Amino acid sequence: MDIDTRIRRRERRGGNHRLILEYQALNPVAHIEEPPGRGPVLERVLDYLDPVFDGRFPADAALWGPPGSGKSAVITALFQRLSGPVFRPQAGIQTTTRAQTVETPSFVHVDTRAAASEFQLYHETLSALTDESVPEHGVSTEDLLSRLRSQLAEQGAIVAVDHVGEPRTMTAETVRELFEPFDHLVSLLTIGRSPPEGDWPTTVIEIPAYGQQVLIDILMTRGSSGLAANAFSHSQARTLAAWASGNAHDALAALFGAAVVANREGRERLSTQDLERGMDAVPQPSASLGWVLTLPENRQLVLRELLNLSETDRQSVTATTEALADRPTIDLSPGTIRRFLYELAEDGIVERIQAERSDRQGRPPSRLEPRFPTLVFEQLYDMQG
DNA sequence: GATCCACGGGAATACACGGATG
DNA sequence: CATCCGTGTATTCCCGTGGATC
């Protein structure tokens, strides 16, 4: 337990009966410094990085495993540490082509969910590597490429590219091609849900789903720093862990949702019903929150307003479009809203469920159901204002 | 040095056509 | 075949940048 948590506990005595002490502790997307139960994976990633400690670049690698298995958690924690002030390797890096010593490499972590195009990938990488801001407009991809090249010539980098091969992100193979121009200046670590195809990269690290006990630990740890004392029991953690079958994202999302419900009802601890409603708000399977929260602003707005619509307003895509177009917060043409809804359905963030009604003629309409953790999204969206 | 303007990329919008059904 | 739903794609809009021009 950290100091902040201890202090918040004491504060409660002063009549401040808050159930939720720290939303970020429950946030499935917010990663903590020491992800538990992933020691062996950490070791293997460090094995892959080992040449860095001898002043050489490692060959490219891939890390893969199912959703909610802590891939991002491990890499976030590790790369944050390695790019921090603590890490200072003894020797400089030798490039394979030149015997000249260059600086030690930077460690950067880029998310292809936020960087789905060539332009954006270069942009994200470059801004992660430099202090000064990189223009997002008015500059060509070519331009960014050459800026990146000269930056990397000064200092090489180990680049972890997260979430490759998802519905809207580029494949590991594409990422490799885009980094081809920086050969010998960059080592790639791609992170995705499926194993790489073919004989690239050299090193492949598999990360299995969490076991039951570890998942319970994770929930208890997060719960104890995020919630008031005794608000969340061990047996409740066991229930959630069993339900989530190894997916920490879903388990935490359900806990977060349960806490939001209990908090709205003014309870000081989670009830069985809160837990149920928390789980109900996380569809199985669920689109990951990290994805939903990196969608462009207006798409998130459409999703947020979608959650406010009545059953009747969601009976068909047309009805939903009209209802959303009427919302004062949404300043988009009906055609665009409709476009968004179909695209979100295509990506599996919402699901179209076809009605089998027969009252009107024409193709039967379909109603839209969210396929992402609704309560968590609502809360996080409203908090960021 | 202030102003103008073309450019590049992404987001929004429009539109056309294909599919399903009574 | 009339009518509504679904999707691919072309076009327009927007917004900074950075070079040209005054």
Using only the alpha carbons of chain A, give its radius of gyration. 23
Q: Are A42 and A78 in contact (CB under 8 A)?
A: yes
How long is the CA A313 to C1' C9 vector, in angstroms? 29
**pLDDT tens, position by position, A300-338:** 999 999 999 999 999 999 999 999 999 999 999 999 999
User: A133 pLDDT band (50/70/90 cuts)?
Assistant: confident
Distance of CA A106 to the CA centre of its chain: 22
pLDDT at A36 over 50: yes
Residue A306 identity: L
Q: Are A224 and A22 in contact (CB under 8 A)?
A: no
User: A99 pLDDT band (50/70/90 cuts)?
Assistant: very low
- Mean pLDDT value across chain A: 90
**pLDDT tens, position by position, A85-95:** 545 554 444 44
Task: Using the structure block, give the residue that is written with the tokens 């998802």.
Answer: A166
Query: What would the mean pLDDT of A206-222 be, rounded to a whole number?
Result: 97
Does nucleic acid strand C have an atom less than 7 angstroms from the CB of A316? yes
**pLDDT tens, position by position, A149-186:** 999 998 999 999 999 999 899 999 999 999 999 988 99
* pLDDT for A92: 47
Does nucleic acid strand C have an atom less than 7 angstroms from the CB of A137? yes
Task: Using the structure block, give the residue that is written with the tokens 């193979």.
Answer: A173
What whole-number distance in Å separates Cα of residue A137 and Cα of residue A146? 16
* pLDDT for A347: 93
Q: Which structure tokens are listed for A330?
A: 């949404």
Closest C1' nucleotide to A343's CA: C7
Compute the half-sphere exposure of residue A103: CA atoms within 13 Å on the CB side of its CA.
12
What whole-number distance in Å separates Cα of residue A25 and Cα of residue A21? 9
This prediction's pTM: 0.89
Does nucleic acid strand C have an atom less than 7 angstroms from the CB of A13? no
* pLDDT for A54: 85
Q: Which structure tokens are listed for A107?
A: 């460690």
First-to-last CA distance in chain A?
30
* pLDDT for A102: 46
Does nucleic acid strand B have an atom less than 7 angstroms from the CB of A359? no
Closest C1' nucleotide to A340's CA: B12
DSSP for residue A20: B
**pLDDT tens, position by position, A338-359:** 999 999 999 999 999 998 766 7
**CA nearest A225: which of A36, A3, A5?**
A5
* pLDDT for A200: 85
